[in-house]
Amino acid sequence: MNPKHSSNSCNTDTSRRSPPTGSSALPPTGTKMLSTGFKALPWNPLSCGPRLPFHPMFAFRVFGLIVMVTGWALGSIATAQEKQDADKSSKASEPRGLTKYMGRRIASPMGYQHMDWLSRPERIQEENPQEMLDQLKLKDGMVVCDLGSGDGYHTLQMAPKVGPTGKVVAVDIQPQMLQELSRRMAANKIVNIDTILGDLWDPKLQAESIDLVLMVDVYHEFSHPVQMLSAIRKALKPTGRIALVEFRAEDPTVLIRPEHKMSKVQILKEYQDNGFRVASEYDKLPWQHLMFMEKDDTK
Ligand SMILES: C[S@@+](CC[C@H](N)C(=O)[O-])C[C@H]1O[C@@H](n2cnc3c(N)ncnc32)[C@H](O)[C@@H]1O
pLDDT for 74: 54
Interior angle at CA 228, CA 223 and CA 232, nearest 5 = 160
Give the pLDDT band of residue 298 (cuts 50, 70, 90): confident
Average pLDDT along the chain: 81
Report how far ligand 1's centroid is from the alpha carbon of 20 (Å): 83
Ligand 1 atom nearest 260 alpha carbon:
1
With a cut of 70, say whether residue 26 has pLDDT above it: no
Q: pLDDT (tens digit, 9 = 90+) per residue, 66-116?
A: 767 665 655 554 445 544 544 444 567 789 999 999 999 999 999 999 999
Report how far ligand 1's centroid is from the alpha carbon of 221 (Å): 7
Higher pLDDT, 57 or 243: 243
Give the pLDDT band of residue 29 (cuts 50, 70, 90): very low
pLDDT for 48: 35
Higher pLDDT, 248 or 7: 248
Give the pLDDT band of residue 23 (cuts 50, 70, 90): very low
With a cut of 60, say whether residue 271 has pLDDT above it: yes
Question: Which of 118, 128, 221, 288 for mutating ligand 1's site (highest number of atoms within 8 Å of CB)?
Answer: 221
Higher pLDDT, 149 or 53: 149
With a cut of 90, say whether residue 52 has pLDDT above it: no
> pTM score, two decimals?
0.74
Question: Which of 133, 212, 218, 259 for mutating ligand 1's site (highest number of atoms within 8 Å of CB)?
Answer: 218
**Residues within 6 Å of ligand 1 by CB:** 109-110, 118, 147-150, 153-154, 171-174, 177, 198, 200, 203, 216-218, 221-222, 228
Ligand 1 atom nearest 153 alpha carbon:
9
With a cut of 50, say whether residue 159 has pLDDT above it: yes
Lowest mean pLDDT among 78-87, 182-191, 200-209, 239-248: 78-87
Which residue's CA is the closest to the ligand 1 atom numbered 26?
150
User: What sign results for the dihedral spanned by CA atoms 104, 109, 114, 120?
Assistant: positive
Ligand 1 atom nearest 214 alpha carbon:
6
Which residue's CA is the closest to the ligand 1 atom numbered 16?
222
Helix H or strand E encompassing 155: helix 155-162
With a cut of 50, say whether residue 235 has pLDDT above it: yes
Domains (range + CATH), the chain = 100-295 (3.40.50.150)
Give yes or no for a contact between 274 and 227, defined as CB atoms under 8 angstroms apart: no
Instruction: Quote the crossing angle between the two packed helices 175-187 and 155-162, to the nearest 10°.
Output: 50
pLDDT for 56: 61
Ligand 1 atom nearest 171 alpha carbon:
21
Higher pLDDT, 144 or 34: 144
Question: Which of 128, 145, 172 for mutating ligand 1's site (highest number of atoms within 8 Å of CB)?
Answer: 172
User: What sign results for the dihedral spanned by CA atoms 22, 27, 32, 36?
Assistant: negative
Q: Residue 162, by phi and psi: left (phi above 0), alpha (psi -120 to 50) or beta?
A: alpha
What whole-number distance in Å separates Cα of residue 6 and Cα of residue 77? Answer: 48
Per-residue b/e over 54-75, b at no fewer than 16 CB within 10 Å? ebbeeeeeeeeeeeeeeeeeee
